[in-house]
Amino acid sequence: MSQPRLTAALAVLILAGVSARAADSCIDCHRRAVLPLDREHDYAQWEKSAHGKAGVSCHGCHGGDPTRTGPNAHKGLLPSSDPASPIYFSKVPETCGTCHAEELQAFRKSAHHKELMRSGKGPNCVTCHGSMANEILTPKQLETTCSLCHRKPMGARPALMALNNASAAVERLGAQVLGSSADSPETKETHAQLARERAELLRDWHTFALKGALEKAQLLTKKAVAASRALTARDAGREK
Ligand code: HEC
Ligand code: HEC
Ligand code: HEC
Ligand code: HEC
Ligand code: HEC
């Protein structure tokens, strides 16, 4: 995330209750409630999700008033079937985008967004991430998700594998930089640069121009592996 966006996202998070977790009636009540609710999407799922761990409460996506207790907390809460609800299918991207602005920006450029707005037939964020956004898909699962709507293979599996490889290579380089005896500002800068490229790639992925994403990911892996080899050689040189 870039700086101004980060600040905006933090403001949203604070409003959304990250800092006010202690006084969050949604969580207090839903934690205890045994409800006839969607079993894929209840308190237990939330607690396990990235959002639960980051303290992004129910009202971050649903609205309502977490400062009230009892039924008043539900004031303004609308079911997903209501077009005015923040979780109505065509509103979901905007809602997620209050915090994930860069993914939303990329997604808006895609044929999927156009189709979602025009006919309702494009996927929205929840199609791939789950309604609690607790899914980080494997390449195989992703391919299966695409084939829900596309008959021919969309190249999602190789592209996501390449992306995952690139992420792993950048992470390995990061760990190596930390453990290195050669205190090398250039390698640190290279790692920071590659980490930025990775973040950009993850975000631009949401335009679904996957051929380009595949090539960029492969290039990124090469650069990270090269930097890693160079650092290994330098460390070995110092030990002699
Ligand atoms: C005092 C307990 C309590 C509090 C506080 C509470 N809820 Fe609920 N909530 C329930 C119960 C019980 C149900 C299931 C019965 C129903 O549908 O009304 C429910 C249902 C829901 C539903 C499903 C509604 C539907 O239309 O199917 C959502 C979404 C929800 N709550 C979100 C929230 C959010 C967001 C907050 C905080 C702003 C919150 N709840 C605060 C008890 C609570
Ligand atoms: C990251 C966003 C997000 C968070 C956090 C979240 N929800 Fe949801 N929730 C959704 C979306 C989107 C849907 C719409 C269902 C779908 O499309 O799968 C939904 C649907 C539901 C439903 C089904 C009712 C309906 O209107 O469709 C219930 C009940 C519910 N959520 C309760 C909760 C509770 C309780 C919490 C907190 C413990 C919570 N949610 C946290 C995004 C979220
Ligand atoms: C109120 C702010 C907020 C909203 C709204 C929100 N998120 Fe998040 N999301 C976060 C935070 C904070 C994290 C955890 C830190 C991070 O990875 O950036 C996160 C993490 C994620 C992750 C990473 C999951 C992982 O396991 O690494 C995905 C995917 C995601 N969100 C998708 C969504 C989707 C889809 C929606 C809408 C249904 C949504 N988010 C709504 C704040 C939000
Ligand atoms: C067609 C499937 C698909 C759709 C639609 C989609 N995503 Fe993603 N998203 C992915 C994949 C695949 C990744 C990258 C690999 C991973 O994290 O699983 C990803 C990554 C992310 C991440 C980063 C997770 C991390 O590891 O840091 C966030 C945040 C995110 N998406 C949010 C969104 C939001 C917000 C929307 C809607 C505006 C959205 N996504 C729509 C498939 C999708
Ligand atoms: C919910 C249905 C749905 C899912 C799931 C879905 N798509 Fe699509 N996709 C569409 C629709 C509808 C269009 C627009 C009509 C068309 O071009 O076929 C589209 C268009 C596209 C396009 C643009 C086509 C072009 O020729 O410009 C690409 C690329 C694409 N999808 C890739 C993917 C990938 C990759 C996945 C899985 C990660 C995926 N889609 C998942 C419905 C979906």
Q: How far is the centre of ligand 5, averaged over its atoms, from the C-alpha of 92 (Å)?
A: 17
Per-residue confidence band for 134, with pLDDT thresholds at 50, 70 and 90: low
Cα–Cα distance measured from residue 5 to residue 100, given in angstroms and rounded to the nearest whole number: 9
> What tokens appear for 109 in the block?
């450029």
State yes or no: pLDDT of 25 exceeds 90: yes
Cα dihedral value 196, 202, 204, 210, nearest 10: 130
Q: How far is the centre of ligand 4, averaged over its atoms, from the C-alpha of 129 (Å)?
A: 7
> What tokens appear for 96 in the block?
């997620």
State yes or no: pLDDT of 12 exceeds 50: no
Whether ligand 5 lies within 6 angstroms of the CB of 148 is answered as yes
The DSSP element (H or E) to which 58 belongs, if any, is helix 58-62
Whether ligand 3 lies within 6 angstroms of the CB of 6 is answered as no
Per-residue confidence band for 236, with pLDDT thresholds at 50, 70 and 90: confident
Closest residue by Cα to residue 8 from 103, 86, 104, 99 = 99
Per-residue confidence band for 23, with pLDDT thresholds at 50, 70 and 90: confident
Does residue 208 come out as left (phi exceeding 0), alpha (psi in the -120 to 50 range) or beta? left
| Average pLDDT of the residues in 207-214 | 92
Distance of CA 102 to the CA centre of its chain: 10
Residue nearest to atom 6 of ligand 5 (CA): 146
Question: For residue 23, what is the DSSP state?
Answer: G
Q: If you compute the radius of gyration of the chain from its CA atoms, what whole number of angstroms results?
A: 21
